A and B are shown apart, each in its own frame.
Chain A
Amino acid sequence: MSHHYVVIAEARGGQLRQVSLEAVKAAQLSANEGDAISALILGHHLAEEARQLSLYISGQVHVVDHADLEHYSAECYCSAMLPLLESLQPCGIVLGHTAMGRDLAPLLAAHLQAGQISDVTSIHRSGSEVLYTRPIYAGKAFEQKRFTAAPHILTIRPNNIPPAAEAESPGQIVQHAYTAPANLRTVIKDVITKASGRVDLSEAQIVVSGGRGVKSAEGFQPLEQLAEVLGGAVGASRGACDAGYCDYALQIGQTGKVVTPQIYIACGISGAIQHLAGMSQSRIIIAINKDPEAPIFKIADYGIVGDLFEVLPLLTEEFRKALA
């Protein structure tokens, strides 16, 4: 087996995703001295993303740029990637635990008969051994794992591993041609971008989240306004999703997404254990709730007891002033 790590990077909205730089760091933490690290990025109109990526990789940046690859598709991406991986023969592959990474990594793992450790939040070394920590039960507990056979495949949770520093000299960009596979069995007919221009919930540094206390779909407007001022994303509790106030894509909890932002603002969320599992690893938790007995206050760094519809506009105004 070679001593070569490959980072599979991702673009979003014309930019390299932050999690891809964290994946470069994860490869550096996993690699032994002297191991090579290269990157692979697929998509369309990737000149800028490839250039950004090359600043952080001293090895090669492999680029497959084609209109058919604009949106992630398991079949097209695999057919573009597998010959490249075949020639690179990596001992490790690192991806973000994103919509793409969650789908692609197990496919590559099955194809390579490899082990995969998913959703890694930290990486430690103990002698020559590399240990990977990941949440189980959505963060109610953590397990530490290691690989017992190569190659190693990792997906890393956004916002947990620090991003890589710039390399001393930029890597070399290598373009590869793409040939569409014959007999595609899956075809993307349409992509409805609801989240365009928005920060992805799992990568957001600030999350403003609403629960049953938001009372309606319209009730999310003050949360949206606060999130916009803060450059954050809006999330929700299961209660709010089940009540039909918002899309399940926003749900945070043991069912739904787990988020670890710098600041989590829980609005009208009581703090059921299934919700706490999805957000209690956030750095700072702020709770806004009418009920002073709500369990969310027991884990919040700062609490405001009050009606969210009164508090949020005041808070939005104060942030707007402070960030001006």
Chain B
Amino acid sequence: MNIFVILKQTFDTEEKIVLDGEKVSEDGVKFIINPYDEYAVEEALRLKEQHGGLVTVISVGPPRAAEALRTALAMGADEAVLISDERIPADEYSLSTVLAACLAKESADIVLGGNFSVDQGSGQVAIRVARLLGLPHVSSITKLDVAGGRADVLRDAEGDTEAIEVALPALFTAQQGLNEPRYPSLPGIMKAKKKPLRQLGLDELGLPEGSFAPRTERLSLSLPPLRNAGQILQGDLKQQAAELVSLLRNEAKAI
């Protein structure tokens, strides 16, 4: 089985955000595989263990994104592709066009991605790629079983669960609860150093400039207003409970 995982390198979720002019500062930031993409990598490895095949991880990003791909190789992926080119705009139309151009050269049985990235959080790229490749897709899956050219999946839809049968090839995006990602083992880390990590630019993909022109652009960045500590209620707990309800009604006018 030929399995591809689209992944993104993101800030660790414990990082604070500091603005540096019109950019988010990367000073001293710890980078990780986007947590939802990590579920996708783990699921790909489990599929390979069950059915055999090859797992290729693909990312579009700056050169530092190679570390995230290396981590996925250390977890057990076989090959990695980093598409890194300063001419690629940070717009979901552009990113998905570039990824689809790369994947169109392969014959994937299954493409996996995360439900969304914890940085931009737009949740568009993987689903756009499915459409561009003409693949059926199911987003936000919590279970994936593959047999006989089809997949049985569970999809999380706002707390409800849908059981869906899909003909392969297909694309899926991973939701929390799909699996528990493994840590790279020490031998895995050693082996990863020798696994192929190809770097591609737009020229290698044969994408003419203009074919991926952005449809949106960022004008500015800001931080949310700071919240201050309010009041800690006093008295016995019954009094506090009564006071809270009264404050919500009379001061906050929220009930």
Contact = CB atoms under 8 A, between A and B. Distances in A.
Residues of A in contact with B, size category: 35 or more
B137 A144 contact: no
A263 interface: yes
Contact of A141 (B13, B158, B176, B221): B221
A298 interface: yes
B165 interface: yes
Contact of B128 (A110, A311, A318): A110
Contacts of B223: 140-142
B12 to A, nearest CB: 9
A16 interface: no
Interface stretch (A30-38, A52-60, A116-124): A116-124
Contacts of B255: 230, 263, 319, 322-323
A305 B158 contact: no
Interface residues of B, number: 84
A241 B14 contact: no
A91 interface: no
A255 B177 contact: no
Interface in B167-215: 167, 170, 175-177, 213-215
B216 A147 contact: yes
A315 B255 CA distance: 14
Given A141-B24, A255-B118, A118 B124 contact: yes
Interface stretch (A159-167, A171-179, A195-203, A207-215): A195-203
Contact of B176 (A106, A135, A248, A297): A248
B231 A131 contact: no
Contact of B123 (A102, A230, A249): A102
Interface string A182-195: 00011111111111
Contact of B121 (A105, A135, A248, A298): A135
Interface string A69-113: 001101100000000000000000000001110110111011101
A280 B216 CA distance: 27
Contacts of B125: 106
B14 A273 contact: yes
Contacts of A200: 158-159
A131 B219 contact: yes
B104 interface: no
Contact of B140 (A99, A143, A188): A99
A281 B215 CA distance: 28
B224 A74 contact: no
Nearest to B220: A144
9 contacts: A103-B140, A109-B128, A185-B136, A189-B152, A189-B163, A189-B165, A190-B163, A248-B142, A254-B118
Interface of B: 11, 13-17, 19, 24, 35-36, 91-93, 96, 116, 118-125, 127-132, 136-140, 142, 152, 156-167, 170, 175-177, 213-224, 227-233, 237-238, 240-242, 244-245, 247-249, 252, 254-255
Given A137-B24, A189-B163, 7 more contacts: A137-B121, A140-B16, A186-B136, A186-B164, A284-B252, A292-B232, A314-B238
